[in-house]
Amino acid sequence: MPDASARAPATPPALSTRRLALLLGGLAMFGPFSIDTIFPAFPAIGAQFGADKLAMQQTISVYLVAYAVMSLVHGPLSDAIGRRRVILAGLAVFTAASVGCALATDLPTLLFFRAIQGLSSGVGLIVGRALIRDVLHGDDAQRLMSQVSMIFGIAPAIAPIIGGWILGVSRWPAIFWFLVAFGAALLAVAWRTLPETHPPSARSPLKARRLLRDYAAIAINPRFQRLAAASAFNFAALWVYIASAPAFVMDILRLNERQFGWFFVPMISGMVLGAFASGRMAGRFDAQRQVGIGFACSAVAIAANLAYTLLVPVPTVPWAVLPMLLNAFGIGLVFPIITLAILDMYPHQRGAASSLQAFTSLVLNALIAGVLSPWLSTHALWLVASAMVFLMLGFAFWRWELHACRRMQRTTLGASPAVPEESL
């Protein structure tokens, strides 16, 4: 819980909450756009560069590794010099890196600029989370986080569809030129309208030794470890399908590069609905109950998916993708609660806490994309089995956190608990 010395949040007068949600949602979108838009182009890029599926999968993993490494810097940098500067610089670098991708003539060059994209694209999501907590708290913060999640959720649904359309009229570099235009447009809008929510009086100096000490203190906090693991494994149950999308859509479901919407639209619809429901539940349902409902929805979805996969040798749409809608809905309920709980643990280091949470999830996602996905994506049963394992791990860490909180409350003998239940 934020202490009394924490700066009281207030919405910047220059920008309404709704417009702030639209802007932050747009900023969060360019990360998923840079991953998912190129999925339909995998065969074309691989054919031009002589790269097999495993090599093409590295365009995702190298992006995520760079994203994960730089995510450790984005948050603390915004704590030191302000949110606005970091977001604007990230947008400028992302736009330039997208130009490099569009002009690449071989796979190593493409991978290099994909890494540069990864280094910059985390600013919208990571710094945006800290920005939300700068301006709002409690149920209002949950509502804004949910609104941003709804807008953010649109990107993975429409990105591969846009990529397929572009391939229908042009070659694969046009996809990266689209990302150049998207990044430039966001940069222009953010330059004109994005407020600075972290004033100089609240900033902390960016010193390597202090940064390492702060990260170490956060990383070894058992409560942070439990919450970050619960969030990361919960999302991994869906990410294993996202990372395997080219193989899942074109090899397992036997669709073409213009039919990625069959996979992404149900999945992202569920995530958007979950985020909307989370916002509506704010102040009406206690946090623990909401997270429990979220995990239950995901469990039912994966059980249905497993049953279908075992009964039907050749998966087809829509039945093979409908369970993902419910799984994504559950994740949309869980994510805002856990993220806000982590941010509220460190009212003076929200950027660092957001960065370390993102790093935890991104490292797991990079391992799934670069190591597990090429192996798992050869059969639908392996994908659903891995999703089940990830969900069980996420739920186990969440139950561990609830048990630890109750034990802490019992040991305080009626004193005010260090971890209030409503913060969960």
b (16+ CB within 10 A) / e for 199-234: eeeeebeeeeeebeebbeebeebebbbbbbbbbbbb
Residues 6+ away with beta carbon under 8 Å from 383: 240, 241, 244, 248, 376, 377
Instruction: Tell me whether residue 279 is in a domain.
Output: yes
CATH number of the domain encompassing residue 125: 1.20.1250.20
Instruction: Tell me whether residue 12 is in a domain.
Output: no
Instruction: Tell me whether residue 91 is in a domain.
Output: yes
Q: Could you check whether the bond before residue 315 is cis, i.e. omega within 30 degrees of 0? A: no
Alpha carbon 161 to its chain's center: 19
Q: Per the structure, how many domains does the chain have?
A: 1
Instruction: Tell me whether residue 265 is in a domain.
Output: yes
Instruction: Tell me whether residue 2 is in a domain.
Output: no
Instruction: Tell me whether residue 3 is in a domain.
Output: no
**Can you tell me the distance from the alpha carbon of 98 to that of 100, in angstroms, rounded to the nearest whole number?**
5
CA distances from 8 to 138, 186, 224 (A): 12, 29, 23
Single-letter amino acid, residue 287: A
pLDDT in tens, the chain (424 residues): 334 334 444 444 445 667 777 788 788 787 778 888 888 888 889 899 988 877 887 888 888 888 888 878 877 788 788 888 888 999 999 999 999 999 999 999 999 999 999 888 878 777 877 777 777 766 777 677 777 766 766 776 678 888 888 988 889 999 999 999 999 998 998 898 887 877 787 777 777 787 788 888 888 999 999 999 999 999 999 989 988 888 888 889 988 777 877 887 888 788 888 878 887 887 777 888 889 999 999 999 999 999 999 998 888 889 999 999 999 999 989 988 898 888 888 877 777 787 788 888 878 987 888 788 888 888 899 999 999 999 999 999 999 999 988 888 777 645 444 444 444 5
Instruction: Tell me whether residue 9 is in a domain.
Output: no
Domain that holds residue 71: 17-423
CA distances from 54 to 59, 113, 186, 252, 373 (A): 10, 19, 33, 16, 9
Instruction: Tell me whether residue 30 is in a domain.
Output: yes
